[in-house]
Structure 1
């Protein structure tokens, strides 16, 4: 009997290691004898410095300053008035071990620094018995006086170290202020996550859905494979799958009944018997029933589909709503918004009244629950309509409002640090269980962490804000960088675009002098950011923010808001003109003919009717030109006059600044000459 047991166990291992046809069910995987590298990538310590009452740095020279960090959030400020002062505090790191590779990640900027070209500002110090200093590892560089710069430092811990301390400091003799934001220490090994692509919405397996698809981190090694473990009602089916060239895995669900389904995806190196990453999700198998009115599902092309029709979000961020605002948005091409006050503390009646008002004006709600994950922000609503606790309140709100016709999606992450991803993923799961008919949307300004951030929502969001102070060569290349990073998760992307002057966030009360020290994007820059997002595949477009353009500008400089709002209206109008092409057209990148200008980008869109649009963007303020050849398009008309036909049939785009153009196909008998 014992011999038979060992034989069966060995046979089971051979089945798992030898591989099976996709969709074949196996015995439960046995990980005995495998090396586990899945703890790699975990956050050892992290802080985004949003909560002033929870400052881990207790010395008086450290303070948490709101509106001083990345994108207007909080930051840790280290202040020194006298050059002879030299104080700093150590933060002891827990759960670290000698021999493992770690990385310190942080963003730093300066203000009124007496010396700012090169300095040291962060590091690790290792101590042995009796707190004796062993060694240190430090990082420094050129500190910008206005803009944050990201720094990283890889380190290992000496074998004889008993304590590892992180230090944030200012070089000796320097006075002024240093600001630190999004400081993290992470384990550097493998954390090859799996992002659900199918099912695409609310972690819900539809009744007729037979297949699943996951995006594995594209950085996974070529020999990587995966074992998908599907558990329901105590029964587990293990399915071993290879990865395709995109590092995606596709398989078939085992027989499932309606209800909860737990899924674990282990990325493996079978030959080395090594687990490279483990991702767990709580899915739901849906019962067969008609789609409710107002449902929003993500289709296999990454489009939002509302009531059976493709929908392209064009919206704004705001902190409150009123009739005049909704009328302006409706009349100028917008169809949705995110209000930070979506969930009213007073209860369901007032929350529902806001949604009713939006419905009257045809504006959809991307409903904000971003403060409800535990330990993420200090604005969590903990009591609401009889529910207690952040997640319980979120579930109560979702259950109460999920059938409202104004609802488009749930907004559950707003620039949270990597440390908070597990908490946001948990909220994603409980929201999906409560509402299987609306997606979750998650936004980050730390796109270097994709595809990991894809765990937090059905729709990925990034918010590059590239336009900064006057007097510098401007570039919107950051928009491309953010979108390319987000694309690593292969999810639909709804981008947030800059529609504000950073001076709004530098001083209180709002004032004209602060606005004059920097600037907002011009109309051409804002349009170029929109069209660059179209080129790189965004399916939704949000502007941050209406409250800046309409309210804060007006408070700082009376009479200025009208011009800022016109920029928003112009961009929304151009996006609406392109909507059929973004949602329905086949598209491809267009290479340049002749010398390549890397600052100019181009994409071709063609509808089934044959109608064509070609979008071209210059992402840099340096004057430049590029030549493109388009085959089979017929006559093309330049919308903004920056592209002209050449005698050989090609087209030349030229720009003296950040700008954009759209070429539109027209009938051959159209009286206008090509390019005009």
Structure 2
């Protein structure tokens, strides 16, 4: 079964196929037994059995959830869902309605991440809502809940709720003609490979049977063929269970090197030369703004509002005038996604029109195909990735996720992976930046690009109830250093336009913006100056006591040492450089790093 079809079946999993169901009293046949929450009660209107949970909310200021803790373990994938019925469900925003969610917390009770699938609005008969969730490695408690989203009024019924752990299975991670097979336990596997030409005609087929204990690289060698663009479709099948996972990638034979590509160490190459993408998100695209961005040291810009009905050619032209590469967004062209534009045609046709019209822009760097969409959209994302590969072999696809536990699932649907921790104002430290970078680099497996998003925005820009709390220059620098230490091959700052959010509230201060931007620019220029060291791929991460992190980036007989403190307290850093390396004349270094302090030191052999 193709991966897309398998994923579609998984998302539609009915509760009766979920065994064992991790929930107690999922059909409310015992009233509210096992569920936490007040204000709702059992009802005889039911989807299955004789009861359901009914919740009526006439007050848009009231917000309640009905939940229970489930016995889920870190690393597990949970399929969850419920049947919902609604009457008069309405709210002021697009993010409204009734739905089901799952979320996790660490051992200290701090929120980690969650999945919140789109629910039902208005009047609706019984409808299934389902999604998947990968439990983070740091999770100590996982809860599933039912709710009306904030600001939603009306009546909702919930029934036949389910949550089940999916058993892990063998997976394949292709890298050109080589494919990494990983399996959760030793077993016999069959790996089949099918080579297709541009007309989707089968050119070659092979099948291998292997006993793999953990992980193994396999090589596919195509027969002698004329130069051209081909597709390699592969499938790994477990002999004991028959379960399958599939992938499909572009395989160029005798073709010119793409204009922009990801090399064997995960670096971006443009016209054959390595480039460290140092970009910034911005919906402001005037010449003054682009000039300011370029002068700050950035070499790339991502404007995710561009697309249908916009002057994309003008945006490319203005960006090019200021020496900026463009990461172009087609991230919203998915049925059912929050910002999908209205269309009478298909989203695939809209995406094809965008790609075909813009793929020859000389400063196009990558296609932005996903901004934090969950696993329920993965079949569409994978199809978009393959579509872009077929239409434009010269530019990679790029996506950003906010849940590191699911990174592996997205490997076969992109060329570049990134995550966006946004820790400032949400946590008292910056540890998540390093953690998420390490997880992103691990998931990229040295084959995909691994980039990171650095927070420069204030969370209050998206929630007026929060006090203003913009990241300081030290916090921006520490985030960036931690990402570089963790192995990021590119950085994107989020976001330039959010630095102006107070304009809409009548509280914008030009002097405050100028000071904040000067700090951001200082960090960006420093990173750009590091490029000769960042692009070698040669270096070593130092093992340190405590939370501080450090890495040496080597370039011949010189090197760059980066060190960062993710804590809101001063730490003393003691480290011994590898044999042969010195800072000035010293091999052993002791330094005091202030809260969120970050340093860079030159080293010599």
Identify whether the pair has TM-score above 0.5, normalized to the shorter chain: yes
Pick the aligned partner of 2:591 from 640, 653, 666: 653
Task: Kindly indicate whether the alpha-carbon contact (under 8 Å) linking 2:229 and 2:255 is maintained by their aligned counterparts in 1.
Answer: no
Aligned residue number for residue 7 of structure 1 = none
Give yes or no for the alignment of 1:278 onto 2:267. no
Aligned residue number for residue 357 of structure 2 = 400
What pairs with 1:610-625 in structure 2 (closer than 5 Å)? 610-625=557-572
Aligned residue number for residue 326 of structure 2 = 365
Give yes or no for the alignment of 1:86 onto 2:54. no
Give yes or no for the alignment of 1:261 onto 2:220. no
Aligned residue number for residue 558 of structure 1 = 509
1:84 is displaced (CA, Å) by 7.2
1:290 is displaced (CA, Å) by 4.2
Aligned residue number for residue 167 of structure 2 = 189
- Name the CA shift for 1:318/1:138 in 2 (closer, same or farther; >3 Å): closer
Give yes or no for the alignment of 1:628 onto 2:575. yes
Deviations 1:304-330 (A, max 9, x none): 111111111111111230101111111
Give yes or no for the alignment of 1:544 onto 2:494. yes
Aligned residue number for residue 443 of structure 2 = 488
Task: Kindly indicate whether the alpha-carbon contact (under 8 Å) linking 1:633 and 1:665 is maintained by their aligned counterparts in 2.
Answer: no
Pick the aligned partner of 1:605 from 535, 545, 553: 553
Report SS of the residue matched to 1:403: coil
Task: Kindly indicate whether the alpha-carbon contact (under 8 Å) linking 1:42 and 1:187 is maintained by their aligned counterparts in 2.
Answer: no
Aligned residue number for residue 641 of structure 1 = none
What pairs with 1:95-244 in structure 2 (closer than 5 Å)? 120=67, 148-150=111-113, 168-169=145-146, 188-198=166-176, 212-216=177-181, 220-223=184-187, 225-232=189-196, 233-234=201-202, 236-240=204-208
Q: Distance in 2 between matches of 1:279 and 1:197?
A: 14
Q: Distance in 2 between matches of 1:479 and 1:266?
A: 34
Aligned residue number for residue 575 of structure 1 = 527
1:148 is displaced (CA, Å) by 4.9
Pick the aligned partner of 1:528 from 457, 460, 478: 478
1:253 is displaced (CA, Å) by 2.9
Aligned residue number for residue 439 of structure 1 = 396
Deviations 1:467-499 (A, max 9, x none): 116xx7x21111122122222241221111111
Instruction: Name stretches of at least 5 consecutive residues in structure 2 with no aligned partner.
Output: 15-36, 49-59, 71-79, 84-99, 116-126, 131-143, 154-160
Deviations 1:406-439 (A, max 9, x none): 1000000000011101101101111110000100
1:85 is displaced (CA, Å) by 3.4
1:142 is displaced (CA, Å) by 8.4
1:343 is displaced (CA, Å) by 1.8
- Name the CA shift for 1:624/1:409 in 2 (closer, same or farther; >3 Å): same
Give yes or no for the alignment of 1:591 onto 2:543. yes
Aligned residue number for residue 366 of structure 2 = 409
Q: Distance in 1 between matches of 2:214 and 2:433?
A: 23
- Name the CA shift for 1:122/1:518 in 2 (closer, same or farther; >3 Å): farther
The normalised TM-score by structure 2 is: 0.72
The normalised TM-score by structure 1 is: 0.65
Q: Distance in 2 between matches of 1:467 and 1:657?
A: 13
Pick the aligned partner of 1:326 from 272, 276, 290: 290
Aligned residue number for residue 269 of structure 2 = 305
Give yes or no for the alignment of 1:389 onto 2:350. no
- Name the CA shift for 1:575/1:652 in 2 (closer, same or farther; >3 Å): same
Q: Distance in 1 between matches of 2:566 and 2:292?
A: 30
Residue-pair matches, total: 500
Deviations 1:178-229 (A, max 9, x none): 9xxxx9967612354323322xxxxxxxxxxxxx12344x563244645032
Deviations 1:102-126 (A, max 9, x none): xxxxxxxxx999999xx84688999
Could you tell which deviates more after superposition, 235-244 or 612-621? 235-244
Q: Distance in 1 between matches of 2:502 and 2:234?
A: 47
Higher Rg of the two aligned structures: 1
Task: Kindly indicate whether the alpha-carbon contact (under 8 Å) linking 2:454 and 2:479 is maintained by their aligned counterparts in 1.
Answer: yes
Deviations 1:350-371 (A, max 9, x none): 2112111111111000000001
Give yes or no for the alignment of 1:430 onto 2:387. yes
Q: Distance in 2 between matches of 1:428 and 1:351?
A: 21
Pick the aligned partner of 1:353 from 311, 314, 321: 314
